[in-house]
Amino acid sequence: MKFLFDLIPAVVFFIFYFLFDIYAATKALMVFATLQIIWEYFKHGKVSKMALITFLLVIPFGAITLFLHDDFFIKLKFSIFYWVLAIALLISNYFYKKNLITLMMHKQIEASRSTWNAMNLAWAGFFVLIGLINLLFIFKFPQYWIYFKFPGVPIAMMVFMLGLFGLLNKQLKFIEPDLSNSEKPKE
C-alpha cells in the first residue's frame, strides 16, 4: 500500500497534465508532494526517504518551472530523480554494505549475495538509462515526453523486472507467502 501512496503525486500530475497543462500539473504536483510529507510526518512521526526525495526535487524544479514558465525544469526533475535512485542503490551497497534491493525484496525472494548485487547493479543501470532516455525525449521528441513518462516508463519497468527475473531465474527462489497467520477462509 505504501507504494501506491507514493504514486499519488505522480497520478495527480498526469490528471492535471491531461486536463489542463504542464504548469497546472506542476502546481498540483508541488501541492500534493507537500501534503504527502506533512501527512506522513503527522501519521508516522517521520517522512519516508522516497517522499522526501520527491519533495526536495519537486519544489525547486517546480518553482523554477513556474517562475520562468519553462517546462524543461520539471521534465529534467524526472531524470535527476532516477539518477538519485541509481546513486542511492550504488552508494548504499558499496559504501554502507546495505543492498536496497535486498531490503525491499528479501521477504519474497531468496538469493545469494552475488545475485542480490547483480540485481542492485542492474536496477541502478536501468535508472541511469531511464534518466538518459528522458533527456532524449525532452530534446528530440518533446511532444511525446508525457507518453514516455506514462505509460512508457511503467511498461519499461515491468519488462525490465520480468527480464531480470527471467535472466536470474536459476539463482532466485521465490518465497511462498505464509498464510498460517492469516484468517482461514470460511466454507
pLDDT of residue 181: 58
Closest CA to 85 of 119, 128, 114: 128
Residue-wise pLDDT tens digits, 44-73: 999 988 889 889 999 999 999 999 999 999
List the grid coordinates of 27: 502546481
Residue 185 has pLDDT above 60, yes or no: no
Calpha distance 104→101 (Å, rounded) = 5
pLDDT of residue 179: 64
Choice between 163 and 176, residue whose per-residue pLDDT is larger: 163
Calpha distance 26→10 (Å, rounded) = 10
Residue 187 has pLDDT above 50, yes or no: no
Q: Are 37 and 52 in contact (CB under 8 A)?
A: yes
Residue-wise pLDDT tens digits, 122-173: 999 999 999 999 999 999 999 999 999 988 998 999 999 999 988 888 887 8
48, burial (CB in 10 Å: exposed 0-12, middle 13-18, buried 19+): middle
Q: Are 83 and 132 in contact (CB under 8 A)?
A: no
Specify the pTM.
0.83
Residue-wise pLDDT tens digits, 12-54: 999 999 999 999 999 999 999 999 999 999 999 999 888 898 8
Residue ranges per domain, the chain? 1-70, 78-175
Measured in degrees and rounded to the nearest 5, phi and psi for residue 138 equal -60, -45
pLDDT of residue 186: 47
Q: State whether residue 153 is helix, strand or coil.
A: helix
Residue 178 has pLDDT above 80, yes or no: no
Residue-wise pLDDT tens digits, 82-114: 999 999 999 999 898 888 888 888 788 888 888
